[in-house]
Amino acid sequence: MKIALIGANGQLGSDLAKVLPARGHDLVPLTHAQVEVTDAASVAAMMQEHEPELVLNMAAFHKVDVCEEEVEQTFAVNVYGVRNLALACRAHGATLAHMSTDYVFGGDKARTAPYVETDAPAPINVYGVSKLAGEQFVRYLLERYFIFRVTGLYGVAGSSGKGGNFVELMLRLARAGKDIRVVDDQRMTPTYTVDLAQQIAAVIEMERYGLYHATSQGDCTWYEFAAEIFRQSGLHPNLGRAKTGDFGEKATRPAYSVLENRALQGMGMDVMRPWQEALGAYLEERG
């Protein structure tokens, strides 16, 4: 399959750029400099030049606290950029695979069970609202689409604009001898981007269109994630618990945003491993 990968140099995009050619796909890796999703003409030119059968969209404005202040830019990328891609895919008869987030949920403060694909979204911050609106454009404009909701991503390439990823931040602080405080009242699932790239590839190859939750198995708080990072790395920093709001974040975060891969499980296609095992694989990969 000929696939245009937008955001090929990002954290997840970098792993997809390795996984997809290895599975026999004709990959067109594209960076922000090569296609600007907020510019419909740029998107149209990309489609005209490469004529992909499928477009994989990794482009997103994902700095959650910044989104609260830069609402127009957030919507330009996460909503209208997605609309531009969906319209271009429809015009060229291509499929769109789009990345979304656990942050489309969060409004149910009493939640203790993982969210499934049929649960009603209720975002509580600008980022989540924008990602949900992007989803709606995809579903309204296209018949052939994939939407993957993901959470807690970390990969060797690191996250653009975030100075790496959470694992690297924890390791860096520990090795510098810093006291570390991590929130213990936000529950999610850390997800290794190598595993996610393999999962995405498997789904798009089956051409089973629709909405999917795709995360590692299990869940934890960010504090518990940090503790496991240090345990597997043989580090023993002074690690303390913090609460949401202790660091003056502008955006409200969900207390519980765990996703269940119910659609994948129903098709017998869930290849995601437990998050602790995936973390071990990441630490081995990075060396």
Which positions are annotated as active-site residues? 127
Per residue, the 3-state secondary structure of the chain, as one string, reads: CEEEEECCCCHHHHHHHHHHHHCCCEEEEECCCCCCCCCHHHHHHHHHHHCCCEEEECCCCCCHHHHHHCHHHHHHHHHHHHHHHHHHHHHHCCEEEEEEEHHHCCCCCCCCCCECCCCCCCCCCHHHHHHHHHHHHHHHHCCCEEEEEECCEECCCCECCCCECHHHHHHHHHHCCCCEEEECCCEECCEEHHHHHHHHHHHHHHCCCEEEECCCECCEEHHHHHHHHHHHHCCCCCEEEECCCCCCCCCCCCCECCECCHHHHHCCCCCCCEHHHHHHHHHHHHC
